[in-house]
Amino acid sequence: SIAILLYLVRKFKTPDHWYPSDLQKRARVDEYLSWQHVNIRGKGSKLFLMKVLLPLLTGQPLPPEKLESVTEELNVVLKQFEEKFLQDKPFIAGSEVSLADLVALVELMQPVGAGYNLFEERPKLAEWRRRVEEAVGKQLFQEAHEGILNVKNL
């Protein structure tokens, strides 16, 4: 949860870029962390649920029109994310990776794990993903997402 992540940042005094002491940068991180619950997380999780979990549980694929609707909802918030939060910056809070970027990318990996490559036709989003992965470390990022990226093998 966001509360636990913030607790860990404070308790272990992580490097400043994760949760900046600069009030404007911190406000950007906080703004994203508040927005993402019903937007990126809500729409991304819904797509994952509808495309992977429900068919797994029911043995029936989701009707295409339902899937299109859920995908369009996600596309709307992805556009908002690019325009409002990324803008023309390398990361959400500016020039360095933050907790907001980490949370955002983790949430976006659910639809990717469901087979929806949301980065494919979004070069700005794809470049941001590359920067976040590099900041975290590609191997660690892959290890952390191994389960979700292989969920279709269930």
Q: What is the pLDDT of residues 119-142, one digit of tens each?
A: 999 999 999 999 999 999 999 999
Instruction: Please provide the DSSP assignment of the chain as one string.
Output: -HHHHHHHHHHTT--GGGS-SSHHHHHHHHHHHHHTIIIIIHHHHHHHIIIIIHHHHHSSPPPHHHHHHHHHHHHHHHHHIIIIIITTSSBTTBSS--HHHHHHHHHHHHHHHTT--TTTT-HHHHHHHHHHHHHH-HHHHHHHHHHHHTGGG-
In the predicted structure, residue 62 carries a pLDDT above the cut 90: no
pLDDT band, residue 153 (cuts 50/70/90): low
Residue-range domain boundaries for the chain: 1-11+22-153
Cα gap 117→143, rounded to integer Å: 19
Among the four given CATH numbers 3.30.830.10, 3.30.750.80, 3.40.720.10, 1.20.1050.10, the one describing domain 1-11+22-153: 1.20.1050.10
Taking residues 60-77, report their average pLDDT. Answer: 93
Q: Per residue in 14-30, is it b (16+ CB within 10 Å) or e — as a string?
A: eeebbbbeeeebbebbb
Q: What is the pLDDT of residues 70-119, one digit of tens each?
A: 999 999 999 999 999 999 999 999 999 999 999 999 999 999 999 999 99
- pTM, two decimals, is 0.92
CA 100 to chain CA centroid, Å, is: 9
